[in-house]
Amino acid sequence: MTLNIVKFPDKTLRNKAKPVAELDETVLKQLDDMAETMYNAPGVGLAAPQVGISKRLIVMDVSSEGEPKKLIKLINPEIIEYYGEESGEEGCLSLPGEYAEVKRAEKIIYRAMDENGQEYEEEASGLIARVIQHEVDHLDGVLFIDKLSSLKRDMIKKRIKKRIIQGDY
Ligand SMILES: [Zn+2]
C-alpha cells in the first residue's frame, strides 16, 4: 500500500520518532508500505515520520537505474561513528523539487536491526552513508535544510511558500 508523504512545513516532521520495542507484523507491514511508497515516489530513502509514522524505521535503495534493486530496511538505526566530511547534493521527498549541497560525514559506522530482528553494525561510505545520515536526521525531526546557511534555507522556504500559493508543491 502506498502511503501519503508528509511535506514540509508540516510540523509532524519535527517530532522525534520512538524506538521500535517489538518487531511485529504491524512494523513489518509498515516497512513494506514505506518501501512501496519510496519506489513509487521515486526516491532513494524514506523515514517513517515522512509518512506520518512516529517510529525509528528507514527504508532505502541506492542502486542505480538498470541495476538489480537493493532494498535496505533499518530498524532503530543509530550512527555511532563519523569520519571525514564531504559535500553532496541532496533532495527530500518531503521537500519535492528542492535540492542543495549538504555537508555530511564521508564515512560512518552505524548500528541497526534488520527485519529478522538481527542487530548488526556496519560501515558505510559515499552515497549510502549520506542517505543514512539524511534519514536518521528525519527520525530526530531534522531536515536537510537545517544543515544549510540561513541565507540558503530562507531562499528555499520562500520558494516553497511561493510554490504553495501557485499550487505546484
Ligand atoms: Zn528526506
Contact 97, 169 (CB under 8 A): yes
Q: pTM of the predicted model, to two decimals?
A: 0.97
Tell me which long-range contacts 51-55 makes (C-beta under 8 A, separation of at least 24).
Answer: 51/3, 51/4, 51/5, 51/6, 52/3, 52/4, 52/6, 52/12, 53/17, 54/12, 54/15, 54/17, 54/18, 55/17, 55/18, 55/19, 55/20, 55/27, 55/30
Residue 80: the pLDDT is: 98
For the residues 66-83, what does the mean pLDDT come to? 96
Question: For residues 167 and 30, what is the distance between their CA atoms, to the nearest angstrom?
Answer: 30
Looking at the annotation, which residues are catalytic? Answer: 135
Question: For residues 157 and 14, what is the distance between their CA atoms, to the nearest angstrom?
Answer: 15
- How far does residue 143's CA lie from ligand 1's centre (Å)? 7
- How far does residue 93's CA lie from ligand 1's centre (Å)? 6
What are the backbone dihedrals phi and psi of residue 144, each rounded to the nearest 5 degrees, phi first? -65, -25
Residue 84: the pLDDT is: 98
Residue 93: the pLDDT is: 98
Question: For residues 108 and 164, what is the distance between their CA atoms, to the nearest angstrom?
Answer: 36
Residue 142: the pLDDT is: 98
**Which SS3 state, helix, strand or coil, does residue 162 take?**
helix
For the residues 2-31, what does the mean pLDDT come to? 97
For the residues 17-43, what does the mean pLDDT come to? 97
Residue 92: the pLDDT is: 98
Domain architecture of the chain: domains with CATH: 11-166 (3.90.45.10)
Beta bridge partners of 101: 89
> pLDDT band for position 65 (50/70/90)?
confident
For 113-167, write each residue's pLDDT tens digit: 999 999 999 999 999 999 999 999 999 999 999 999 999 999 999 999 999 999 9
For 78-91, write each residue's pLDDT tens digit: 999 999 999 999 99
Q: Is the pLDDT of residue 24 over 90?
A: yes
- How far does residue 117's CA lie from ligand 1's centre (Å)? 25
> pLDDT band for position 4 (50/70/90)?
very high
> pLDDT band for position 6 (50/70/90)?
very high
Q: Is the pLDDT of residue 63 over 90?
A: yes
- How far does residue 91's CA lie from ligand 1's centre (Å)? 7
Tallying the residues shown for the chain, one arrives at 169
